[in-house]
Structure 1
Amino acid sequence: MRQPQPTTAVLHGTRASTTAPALVARHPQWPGGVARPETPGFERSAKAWLFDLGPARWQCEGVFHRRPDELARMVRLHIESELATAQAALRRIRARRTSLDAQELLDIYQRESDWAVAMRDQVCEVETALQQCRETRRKAS
Structure 2
Amino acid sequence: MIELLFGSLDRMYVPPGWPPEVSPPGSPDWERSATAWLLDAVPPDYRAYEVLRRHPVALARMAGRHVRAAIEAAREGYRGAAVDLKDHLPPHAVEAVLEVYRREGPRLVRLAGAVDLVERALRGEHFVERF
Q: Return the TM-score normalized by structure 1.
A: 0.71
- Show structure 1 runs of 5+ residues with no match: 1-18, 134-141
Q: Distance in 1 between matches of 2:33 and 2:52?
A: 14
Going from structure 1 to structure 2, the CA distance change for 1:20 and 1:106 (only over 3 Å counts) comes to farther
* Deviation (angstroms), 1:113: 0.9
The aligned counterpart of 2:3 is none
SS across alignment from 1:21: helix
Q: What is the alpha-carbon root mean square deviation over aligned residues? A: 2.1
8 Å contact kept, 1:20–1:36 = no
| Greater RCO structure (CA 8 Å; 6+ sep) | 2
For the pair 1:117 / 2:105, whether they are aligned, the reply is no
Counterpart among 50, 53, 72 of residue 65 in structure 1: 53
Q: Distance in 2 between matches of 1:96 and 1:58?
A: 31
Q: Return the TM-score normalized by structure 2.
A: 0.76
Q: Distance in 1 between matches of 2:68 and 2:57?
A: 16
- Show structure 2 runs of 5+ residues with no match: 1-8, 126-131
Counterpart among 100, 106, 113 of residue 98 in structure 2: 106
The residue correspondences of 1:1-12 to structure 2 (distance < 5 A) are: none
Q: Between Structure 1 and Structure 2, how many residues are aligned? A: 113
Q: Distance in 1 between matches of 2:33 and 2:12?
A: 19
Q: Distance in 1 between matches of 2:120 and 2:81?
A: 35
Which is higher, the Rg of structure 1 or of structure 2? 2
What's the % identity of the aligned pairs?
32
Q: Distance in 2 between matches of 1:39 and 1:59?
A: 24
